[in-house]
Amino acid sequence: MTTPQAGQIVALLREFTLANDRFADVFARRHHLHRTDLEAMAHLWIGELQRSPMTPTRLSAALSLSAPATSALLSRLERAGHIRRIPAQHDRRSRVLVLHERARDLTVAYFTPLGARLRAVVAEFTPSEADVIERFLRACVAATIEVTPAAGEEANPATTGGTAHTRRSEGTQPDER
């Protein structure tokens, strides 16, 4: 059911996304990071939290980057002291990517206040209201993933207003070493 309220909610989601992007961009500028560098660090952070080490190949897929672009990104982050490439436990020839302690500390210091403020906002709702919010946000994530073209695919102009720009070349993977 489409209602005027649905349009207002979608507009607020767009506004939240832009505000969140601006917040992240300030961090990126302060630390001389490209937006993709910040996204890469976020993927490494999530991998660490989930106890699922990130490899160059997995990061390349997550960012929809070609092998050369991923290698350049990793070299840039490594030179800046944000990440380390260490041997994988299961296969010493492979590498896993880990955030350097300093990068983790900078990230925590900057992003923790926002996380605390957002948790405080959620705490203003009853548990049943929070359940609805969670269900809504999960559905929004799923809807976004559903209409996002895969790397190398053209977007449906009817749903995106044009052709998708993809960052990944078909069939390329970064070197795991």
Band (156; pLDDT cuts 50, 70, 90): low
pLDDT of res. 152: 57
Q: Is the pLDDT of residue 161 over 80?
A: no
Mean pLDDT of the chain: 86
Structure tokens given for 8: 């207002």
Give the pair of three-digit tokens for residue 175. Answer: 């070197």
- Strand partners for 31: none
Cα gap 114→82, rounded to integer Å = 21
Which runs of consecutive H residues, i.e. helices, occur in 50-171? 56-63, 67-79, 101-123, 127-147, 157-160
* pTM exceeds 0.85 for this model: no
Q: What is the pLDDT of residues 13-22, one digit of tens each?
A: 999 999 999 9
pLDDT of residue 172: 40
Residues 156 and 162: beta-carbon distance below 8 Å: no
Give per-residue pLDDT as tens, 109-122.
999 999 999 999 99
**Rounded Cα–Cα distance for residues 150 and 166 (Å):** 8
Number of neighbouring beta carbons within 10 Å of residue 73 = 22
Instruction: List phi, psi (to 5°) of 96.
Output: -120, 155
Distance separating alpha carbons of residues 153 and 54, to the nearest angstrom: 25
The secondary structure of residue 90, as a DSSP letter, is S
Crossing angle of helices 67-79 and 56-63, rounded to 10°: 110
